[in-house]
Amino acid sequence: MAILLRKPPAVRSDEITDPAVYRARRQFLRGGAAAALAGLLPRDLLAAAARLKFSKGPFSTDESKTSLKDVTRYNNFYEFSTDKSGPAKLAQDFKTRPWTVAVGGAAEKPTRFGIEDLLTRFDLEERVYRLRCVEAWSMVVPWIGFPLHKLLAAVAPTSQAKYVAFETLHDPEQMPGQRGGLFGSSLDWPYVEGLRMDEAMHPLTLLAVGLYGDVLPNQNGAPIRLVVPWKYGFKSIKSIVRISLVSQQPPTSWNLTAPGEYGFYANVNPKVPHPRWSQARERRIGEFRKRPTLPFNGYADEVAHLYRGMDLRKYF
């Protein structure tokens, strides 16, 4: 009896898997990924990476996400404008490539990372975090990023590293708010921020490179920003170009400008009012009614131990 053997169809994996995801995965697994990705569009790369890592990250909230429209059109980014809708308009042509982040100071392996290096070196994940601003409004944002502690470990901090200082790009040509005048503010530039070392190393502290599964919009701090979800939003510095490990508490922009209103720690504390308004309640963008503000923005179980024994009214 003749037996007919059929040759299996020649189906390649890239005909089954989404091609963008397949190609990005191959690039991630291949040695020298950063060089190989030089010709790949950043948006394509991040979209693919986000899909590969689209499982909910640790500490994510189950609360309803703020709409993408609100997240990208209601922003505090004084480098572009003091008006909430201004950054979305004025940052459209902001150039985020090429971009490097210099990480050094009290470190054994100071390194200047290209943004492509960061996208390929560290596993990206989605984390849905609350964002609470000092003006008593809040959002729930699905960030894409990686924990700051992984970047710091890569440069090997020395025993002198007690704090981490951050610096935003200073480019008045691109950032009209840094020129003063109509779109400006009373802040000194560049914008600077800082964290205590244990805060920076906490697994909640995120370096975000995207949101809603896509690359960070310019008005949200492209191409890389900090997200510290238990602190007021002004601590989450945007468009970072320098990270320095230092031995002394670093200066921070809002604390320098108005020390009676903005402390170094800036932990969300409903019992400490801003001098001009209460912080006891907040309005979630997209909602009408206000809700009670949660201590540490709802992350007390994870971070309250960092401040045990501290007077949080004094160290606000």
Per-residue pLDDT of the chain (316 residues; tens, 9 = 90+): 444 434 434 434 333 334 343 344 434 333 344 434 444 445 555 554 544 455 566 789 999 999 999 999 999 999 999 999 999 999 999 999 889 999 999 999 999 999 988 888 888 889 999 999 999 999 999 999 999 999 999 999 999 999 999 999 999 999 999 997 655 677 999 999 999 999 999 999 999 999 998 889 999 999 999 999 999 999 999 999 999 999 999 999 999 999 999 999 999 999 999 999 999 999 999 999 999 999 999 999 999 999 999 999 999 9
Secondary element (H or E) of residue 143: strand 137-147
* Single-letter amino acid, residue 249: Q
DSSP 203: T
User: Phi and psi at residue 75, in whole multiples of 5°?
Assistant: -135, 145
User: Phi and psi at residue 188, in whole multiples of 5°?
Assistant: -85, 150
DSSP 55: S
Taking Cα atoms as reference points, which of 85, 68, 83 lies closest to residue 216? 68
User: Phi and psi at residue 41, in whole multiples of 5°?
Assistant: -60, 130
Quote the tokens at residue 162: 């007690």
For residue 77, the cross-strand partners are 81
The dihedral formed by the CA atoms of 226, 228, 233 and 239, expressed in degrees to the nearest 10:
0
Contacts of 4 (CB under 8 A, 6+ apart): none
Distance CA 159, CA 144 (A): 31
Quote the tokens at residue 189: 């530039």
Identify the pLDDT of residue 6.
Answer: 41
- The whole-model pTM stands at 0.85
Q: Which CATH architecture has domain 55-307?
A: Alpha-Beta Complex (3.90)
Identify the pLDDT of residue 26.
Answer: 39
Q: What ranges do the domains of the chain cover?
A: 13-52, 55-307
Distance CA 180, CA 187 (A): 9
Distance CA 95, CA 228 (A): 25
The SS3 of residue 33 is helix
Identify the pLDDT of residue 240.
Answer: 98
83, 247 Cβ separation under 8 angstroms: no
Q: What is the DSSP string of 87-130?
A: HHHHTTT---SS-EEEEEESBSS-EEEEHHHHHHHS--EEEEEE
Calculate helix-pair angle for 19-29, 42-52, nearest 10 degrees: 90
